[in-house]
Each structure stands twice: as C-alpha cells, then as structure tokens.
Amino acid sequence: MKIEHVAIWSKDIERLKRFYVDYFDGSAGDKYTNLSKNFESYFINFQSGARLEIMQMPSIPFNLNNTIDQYIGLIHIAISVGSIEKVNKLTDTLRNAGCKVVSEPRRTGDGYYESCILDPDGNRIEITE
C-alpha cells in the first residue's frame, strides 16, 4: 500500500505549479478542467513516484489559520532532496526568492536534517536530506 497523492487547494495553481516544478524538480501533467464546477487542477509528478495535486475552484475560501502556528490536521509535506548540502542550498534559494523560512536547516532530535519553508500559498514544506 502507498499514498497515491496529496492534494492542495490554491487560489493560483499556475504560480504553485511553477514553484514545485522549478524548485523541487516536479513535472506537471496536463491541466484538468471541469467547466461545470469551475474546477481546475494539475498533478505534479516527482521522480520518486510521489504526486501532488494542485487544485483551484473560486468558491473555496482562504485558510484563515496563522500559517506559523500548528493545528490539528495535515501540517506539512516533507520532500527529500538527497543531502545536507542540498537542504542548505535550497533553503537559501527559496529564502532569496521570497519564501518564508519557518525553521532553519538543523538536525532534529530524531535524527533528521531538515528545514521548513512556506510555499507561495503558505503550506509548510519540510526540506529533508
């Protein structure tokens, strides 16, 4: 058994698609559009086989939770980049691109080397080695 994909609502799927393609080496499938529901989505495919669905529908409201605080429910997506050096470099690249860094690269108590940033929609992304 495996998780097939994780889905994220967005107000700008083109911007979010570019983010995951440009910074995390994802490849975007064709845009799916359902005109009767005013719904659009992309699947972003990663080399490991993981997939992220980015969805947009005008009737979906913004999340009013503070993105820095934590709440019950899905809290982050972790993406492994393969090395400590790549965690450090990508964190700096994303900071310079205007992304909020929630936590700097560090070794956690359970042995992970990671940082945490917010994507353009405020979703927490852990960057792991």
How do the pLDDT tens digits run along the chain, 129 residues long? 888 999 999 999 999 999 999 999 999 999 999 999 999 999 999 999 999 999 999 998 887 777 777 777 788 999 999 999 999 999 999 999 999 999 999 999 999 999 999 999 999 999 999
Q: How far apart are CA 20 and CA 79, in angstroms?
A: 11
DSSP class of 11? S
Task: Give the pTM.
Answer: 0.90
Q: How far apart are CA 113 and CA 37, in angstroms?
A: 42
The identity of residue 97, as a single letter, is A
Q: How far apart are CA 23 and CA 71, in angstroms?
A: 26
Domains of the chain, start order: 1-59 (3.10.180.10), 75-128 (3.10.180.10)
Nearest to 128 by CA among 116, 114, 117: 114
